[in-house]
Every structure is written in C-alpha cells, then in structure tokens.
C-alpha cells in the first residue's frame, strides 16, 4: 500500500526513541509525549508494508517496526482475527495501543485485591469499549490490565508501543471468573 503522505512509522520510531531517552525512566512523561504521535501514525497506510511483516506470534500475524537493543522500546502492529481474543493480560510496562484498522472491543480491568495471595487476583471490569481506527489508549501499571477482541467478521489491527521487548518480559494472564493468575514470560498476545 502507498503511504498517505502524512506522519510515517519511520518518523514515529525516531521520535519514540528520542522520547524514551529524554524521559529517563519517567513512564508517565514518555506516554504523554508519545500519545499524540501515536494518534497521527495510526493513519499511515505504510504500517502494512510487507517489509515489516514478521513471524506470527501466538497465531497472530504482526508487523515489527522496531525493537531497541536494550529492550527499552518495542513498536509493532498485531492483526487480530475474528473469534481469537487475547486473554485478559498485563504488560507490566508503560505503553500505548492505537487502533489502525478495523474495530476492536477493548476491556480494561482494575485489580482490586491487595496482591497478597500468590496466583490470585480479584479484577473489576472498568470499561468495555469498541474502538475504531484512530483510537489510542495508554497502559501504565498498575492500570495496564486489558483484553482485545476483533468486532465483526474482518481482522482488526492495533499498533503497540511498549517500554519493553515482550520477548524478555515477565507478565500475567488473568482469569476474571476464577481469579487465577498465570505468570508468563517472553511471548506476545
């Protein structure tokens, strides 16, 4: 596909690298600085250039634009096919998710227990919203527990900008019905 002539993924990656370095570990600052840029780049049709296509992870096709050598930044798009929602999960890092194609139902959760019981978490559903291209939301722990599901019969796509390489990250999958928490490492959703 041809690009729109607007803000491109290459420009975004350069700006994201600068923002991460300038923030010096301040997660709130980097999210605030990058959110308006994610809002622009999700309109770049160049996101779907085949040169960025990477091996599917957990059965989900994806496009990989950048992974910082030190693991401090990862930028990629995930394709979500109908009928294959993510589990409820966290990333345990700052992040931004921007819908760049199709429609996605995003459920956001809050942990309401004190975390004292290993392998268990009580979650409260905060919102369940259908988001279309252009919608962007932040992830800042502990408010990063979420689930993504395609709405309709066509795939949806979202850009993920995370403060960690998921291949190196320990995180959690939650079962809101039973409270079970399963720790995972080194895999995407």
Give the pLDDT confidence of 103-149 residue by residue, as tens digits.
999 999 999 999 899 999 999 999 999 999 999 999 999 899 999 99
What confidence score (pLDDT) does residue 178 get? 96
Segment 79-91 mean pLDDT: 93
What confidence score (pLDDT) does residue 2 get? 44
What confidence score (pLDDT) does residue 3 get? 43
To the question of pTM greater than 0.85 for the whole model, the response is: yes
Q: Which residue in 172, 50, 48, 29 sits closest to 96, CA to CA?
A: 29
Domain 9-185 in CATH: superfamily? Jelly Rolls (2.60.120.10)
Segment 6-20 mean pLDDT: 95
Q: Which residue in 178, 11, 15, 165 sits closest to 91, CA to CA?
A: 165
Q: Where are the domains of the chain?
A: 9-185
Residue percentage of the chain with pLDDT more than 90: 79
pLDDT at 32 over 90: yes
Segment 26-51 mean pLDDT: 95
Q: Which helix (H) or strand (E) holds 36?
A: helix 27-41
Q: Which helix (H) or strand (E) holds 37?
A: helix 27-41
């Amino acid at each position: 596909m041809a690009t729109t002539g607007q803000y491109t993924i290459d420009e975004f990656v350069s700006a994201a690298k600068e923002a991460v370095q300038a923030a010096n570990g301040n997660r709130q600052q980097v999210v605030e600085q990058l959110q308006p840029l994610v809002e622009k780049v999700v309109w770049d049709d160049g996101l779907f250039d085949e040169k960025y296509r990477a091996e599917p992870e957990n059965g989900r096709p994806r496009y990989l634009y950048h992974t910082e050598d030190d693991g401090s930044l990862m930028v990629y798009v995930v394709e979500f096919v109908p009928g294959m929602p993510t589990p409820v999960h966290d990333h345990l890092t700052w992040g931004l998710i921007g819908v760049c194609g199709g429609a996605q139902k995003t459920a956001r959760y809050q942990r309401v227990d004190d975390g004292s019981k290993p392998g268990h978490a009580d979650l409260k559903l905060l919102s369940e919203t259908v988001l279309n291209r252009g919608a962007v939301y932040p992830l800042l722990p502990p408010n990063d527990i979420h689930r993504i599901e395609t709405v309709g019969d066509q795939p949806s796509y979202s850009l993920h900008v995370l403060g960690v390489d998921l291949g190196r990250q320990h995180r959690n999958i939650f079962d809101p019905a039973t409270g079970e928490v399963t720790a995972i490492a080194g895999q995407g959703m």
